[in-house]
Chains A and B, each alone.
Chain A
Amino acid sequence: MDVREKLKNDKLIFDGAMGTMLQNRGLKIGQLPEALNITSSDVVIDIHKKYIKAGADIITTNTFGANKYKLIDSNYTVKEVIDAAIGNAKKAIGDKDIYIALDIGPIGELLEPMGTLSFQEAYDIFKEQVIVGVENQVDLILIETMTDLYEAKAAVLAVKENSDLPVFCTMSFEEDKRTFTGCNPTSMVMTLQGLNVDALGLNCSLGPKELEPIINDILDISRIPVMVQANAGLPTVVNDETIYNISPNEFASYCAKFVEKGVKVIGGCCGTTDEYIKELVKSLKDVDLGETNPKAFSGICSPTNAVIIQGAKVIGERINPTGKKKFKEALVNGDIEYILKEAISQVDAGAEILDVNVGLPEIDESKMIVRVIKEIQSILDTPLQIDSTDPKVIESGLRVINGKAIVNSVNGEDKTLENILPIVKKYGASVVGLTLDENGIPESAEERFRIAEKIVKKALEYGISKEDIYIDCLTLTAAAQQEGVKETLKAITMVKEKLNVKTILGVSNVSFGLPNRELINKTFLAAAIYTGLDLIIMNPLKKDMMDTIKASKVLWNEDKGAVNYLATYENTKNIESPVSNTPNKDRDLFQIILKGLGEEAKAATKKLLETKEALEIVNEFIVPALDLVGDRYEKGEIFLPQLIRSAETVKASFEIIKESLSNESIDNISKGKIILATVKGDVHDIGKNIVKVLLENYNYEVIDLGKDVSKETILEAAVENNVKLIGLSALMTTTVKSIEEIIKTLKAKDSNFTIMVGGAVLNEDYANMIDADYYGKDANSAVAIAKEVLG
């Protein structure tokens, strides 16, 4: 019987720790346990045999760290180690009926954005392990001790795309119910279940007692089998030795309790030995596997933020170029900062989900959606909705997203359903279904309902659950189709009642062509919420609309006791209007920059623009103020945070100035392009970012390539943008080598490239030695260099 078959009706018992058993047999601390598969196969075989004798159904290969990264300093290849490990397991089994699980642990290096390993690199590392497992015909693959949901996803995809083997995946949580990287159990379940693993759960980090509350949480919601491999309690150090604090007996009784609750796959982790498994097997003899009754719920998530769709939630719509000139420019220029600011301001205003649409004919949408998703997820934990109808773009986005997303959208056309639903299922996303088809938007609620019915039916056929479907009954404009507005609301009611799925709607179209659009919008919104609308696609920066939602939630008894309403509005009277909108008569822009008053510069700049040309403002106020600030910094009269604050004040002023100028005139003020990058291997980029702010102040156009940048990327960007001055930063002795290589590469290509370097580890001498043209000791000196090189 294969593992999947057995798992349907029965519990499965795993073995206990490998590391603990190896250490008991003389493995030195720091030594590579996986090498013993080759150098001491007898020891490994003996351990497997002990677990088989103890009664385990499944033994785990000694391959936790058998990946390319961890084996790098050993003399072995991944294939050699895994081949040997599986060989040892097979020898231990002989002709007994025992399953072999290929063990895969974390790579040991963190993925982006926390670390530097890319998702694809992680995928490739796992893929290599999986392929050797498949060649050796293991029965299943165990991905365990994961603390990063993103890494777990890379591993699961590597298994799914390179084998048909069952895959179990467990993560390690701390007592605060989060993993080291902040992942919570709900996000884990939503994501891994979506990726169609065969079992999911917990291992390592804590003993069974401490894991119990987390196990309960998971059993509450997981629709797939739950697995637990706890440690033998908590470690204590006695005479420099690590001892775990619970006995085999106690361990076994906890495990029996878990199985009674419905945990289907059970075994041990650190500190457990064959004694523990023996007791475990004994204690399970008379225990019936409990039935779980997981709650059905709709939700999406990032690793650290699970949003359960209960009551109306706001999806921010502003990451979308449609009808927005500045946003389009940002996409074309790759100005990620602009897009991120849209993301941040929407979340600050109350958006709980962000819609991401980067569709523009001039750009590669697939590439851009990947970049934007990664950038947003590196600073915000708001779950995302991928907004595109192109299957290629959707798949690119779903692949790199961390957590569970919504796909916006499919409609009633067979072609879109057939192209997009399989992708939604593969990556475990939710999906929006628009109630339109090749004939357009039907007029009546009944016809829209029929399309919704079709979409739901198709989605279910593809294995997508009802909870993951959101139907959009589509808003019509009151100015053109007044009688149709009601039909939308009627359709929402029908969809909710008869199909029992969630609904989603963009509301602002309703007012198109009418004056005072907000009034129409919020009135329609209130009515839509009354019909039970779940997800509202809107601009959360419209305060009136957000207020309407809060009020509706009180009226329709969702905000119990009006708790949230009171918290928001009780002190309304006391809210003062922010100072930044009112220019202070006593301060001109020069003083504002000197004092670093940030946003106040915007109002002052606006005021100046009434009487002066942009260039006059730059020359009469901004440049003199900047020069003075720079000078004071040089003399030590002010210190770094003050310098940066002045620089950011100038930045605020420039935002206003640039708004008043045509693209052409903006090009005219530009003093030239400069590339900045923190070099390969280095992730310290705060210094480089400070340099960027200052250079931009002086109207240099900075192409910021970010951190951990390869020489190829720098060269490509320099050639493509015809850039003369390139600034490289490194903070580590180890990464200065990277700088040297980049300089060689650049100079070999074109001796006219001018290179300035900076960063804590460098100095004038060192800069000369590696053939850099300039050494910038701080951000201010980078400006001086730019002036010298570019004028």
Chain B
Amino acid sequence: MTNSERKKEALRYLGYKNQELDKITDELIDDAMDEISTIANGRYIYKTFNILRDESSLILEATNFHLIGEDIKNHLNKSEKCILIGASLGHDVDKKIRYYEKISMTKALILDACATVYIEELCDTICQEIEIDLKAVGKSLTSRYSPGYGDLPISVQNHFLSILDAKKQIGLTATSSSILIPRKSVTAIAGIISKDEVKKNSSCSNCNKYNTCMYAKEGYGCGR
């Protein structure tokens, strides 16, 4: 992603709709982008699993992990294998956002948005890396699907992390109410599909934020 693409993304998260962008805001975003690039400590882990199917759920082979719900079933209906991904920007980002919340909410808000851009970009990079290998065997990936989307309950988060051994491998944990810590982190599942398969855009209605999403309200997606 180029810097100007990142900035565009950050602005989108900040609710920007082509208003006049004053010089101060503009510079604050540039500064925050610089800052996030130095404090983010991106780490990730992914593993590939065969998908076993029974009547009620999908099971990842050699694990005790069941994927519950119709939505994930649909998402992976063309896949025999899937990849579990965990990624995080680390604790320094959280700490810096907490710090700014005490001295400047404006800076906190902007750094938070920039961090979101970075973690999404990290996930894209991971998927691209995986797809390079898959391409050689005529395969590709579906879009990413996370615990909490649609009817896949977010309460699977801790189990998801243990399947990846993510706590030990990249320091990614969850609270007892399934919030990922560090905060700027993502867990997701992507199915492996044949390259010829048309990549489905994950539709907004599958998203757990659909009812309240400001982008959905405007009639266009968040770009996920």
Contact = CB atoms under 8 A, between A and B. Distances in A.
A762 B177 CA distance: 17
Given A108-B167, A380-B99, A690-B109, A681 B62 contact: no
B154 A733 contact: yes
A280 B29 CA distance: 54
A681 B177 contact: yes
Interface string B95-110: 1011101111110111
Nearest to B173: A110
Contacts of A597: 24
A110 B94 CA distance: 13
Interface string A619-658: 0000000000000000011111110110110000000000
A453 to B, nearest CB: 43
Contact of A378 (B63, B98, B108, B159): B98
A256 to B, nearest CB: 27
B132 interface: no
Interface string A265-286: 0000010000000000000000
Nearest to B176: A109
Given A110-B181, A682-B177, A340 B154 contact: no
B19 to A, nearest CB: 5
Contacts of B14: 639-641
Given A114-B94, A116-B175, A733-B208, A636 B63 contact: no
B171 interface: yes
Contact of B109 (A69, A179, A640, A685): A640
Contacts of A181: 91, 171
Contacts of B52: none
Interface string B164-178: 000110110111111
A237 B98 CA distance: 37
Contacts of A762: 212
A735 B140 CA distance: 36
B191 to A, nearest CB: 16
A702 B102 CA distance: 15
Nearest to A337: B102
B97 to A, nearest CB: 7
A686 interface: yes
Given A69-B176, A115-B175, A147-B171, A641 B110 contact: yes
Contacts of A734: 154-155, 177-178
A205 B47 CA distance: 18
B63 A28 contact: yes
Nearest to A172: B168
A390 B171 CA distance: 39
Interface string A27-59: 011110000000000000000000000000000
Given A182-B91, A682-B177, A733-B148, A340 B163 contact: no
A116 to B, nearest CB: 5
Interface in A742-763: 760-763
A196 B29 CA distance: 47
A689 B92 contact: no
A97 to B, nearest CB: 32
A763 B109 contact: no
Interface residues of B, number: 64
Interface in A294-347: 337, 340-341, 344
A433 interface: no
Given A109-B173, A109-B174, A686 B19 contact: no
Nearest to B159: A30
A645 B24 contact: yes
A10 to B, nearest CB: 31
A642 B109 contact: no
B22 interface: yes
Interface string A109-131: 11001111100000000000000
B175 A29 contact: no
Given A115-B173, A733-B154, A683 B179 contact: yes
A636 B17 contact: yes
Contacts of A380: 99
Contacts of B181: 110, 114-115, 683
Interface in A177-193: 179-182
B171 A681 contact: no
A114 B106 CA distance: 22
A270 B209 CA distance: 39
Given A641-B109, A686-B112, A180 B171 contact: yes
A684 B183 CA distance: 9
B167 A106 contact: yes
A341 B209 contact: no
A686 B109 contact: yes
Contacts of B37: none
Chain A interface helix/strand/loop/mixed: loop
A648 B106 contact: yes
Contacts of B48: 240
A187 to B, nearest CB: 15
Contacts of B176: 69, 109, 116, 681
Contacts of B92: 182
A179 B91 CA distance: 11
B204 to A, nearest CB: 14
A29 B62 contact: yes
Given A30-B63, A642-B25, A733-B208, A379 B19 contact: no
A713 to B, nearest CB: 17
Given A147-B171, A642-B25, A379 B99 contact: yes
Nearest to B174: A109
Interface string B65-107: 1000000000000000000000000111011011101111110
Given A637-B19, A733-B208, A204 B106 contact: no
A380 B5 CA distance: 32
Contacts of B2: none
A596 interface: yes
Interface string B107-131: 0111010000000000000000000
A595 interface: yes
A693 interface: yes
Contacts of B90: 180
A785 interface: no
Interface in B158-212: 158-159, 162-163, 167-168, 170-171, 173-179, 181-183, 208-209, 211-212
A648 B102 CA distance: 12
B15 interface: yes
Contacts of A763: 211-212
B209 A645 contact: no
Contact of A683 (B19, B103, B183): B183
Contacts of B38: none
A31 B26 CA distance: 50
Contacts of A647: 105
Given A648-B105, A690-B105, A145 B168 contact: yes
Interface string A398-412: 000000000000000
A645 B175 contact: no
Interface string B27-60: 0110000000000000100011100000000001
A609 interface: no
A106 B165 CA distance: 13
23 contacts: A28-B63, A29-B62, A29-B63, A30-B65, A69-B176, A108-B167, A108-B173, A110-B181, A114-B182, A145-B168, A270-B168, A595-B24, A639-B15, A640-B15, A640-B109, A641-B14, A644-B109, A684-B179, A689-B105, A690-B109, A732-B148, A761-B209, A761-B212
Interface of A: 28-31, 69, 106, 108-110, 113-117, 145, 147, 172, 179-182, 204-205, 237, 240, 270, 337, 340-341, 344, 378-380, 595-597, 636-642, 644-645, 647-648, 681-686, 689-690, 693, 732-735, 760-763, 766
Would you list the 6 A-B pairs with minimal beta carbon distance, nearest first? A180-B171, A681-B177, A29-B63, A379-B99, A30-B163, A30-B63
Given A29-B60, A642-B19, 15 more contacts: A28-B63, A30-B63, A30-B159, A113-B98, A114-B94, A205-B168, A237-B47, A337-B102, A378-B95, A597-B24, A636-B19, A640-B15, A641-B106, A760-B213, A761-B212
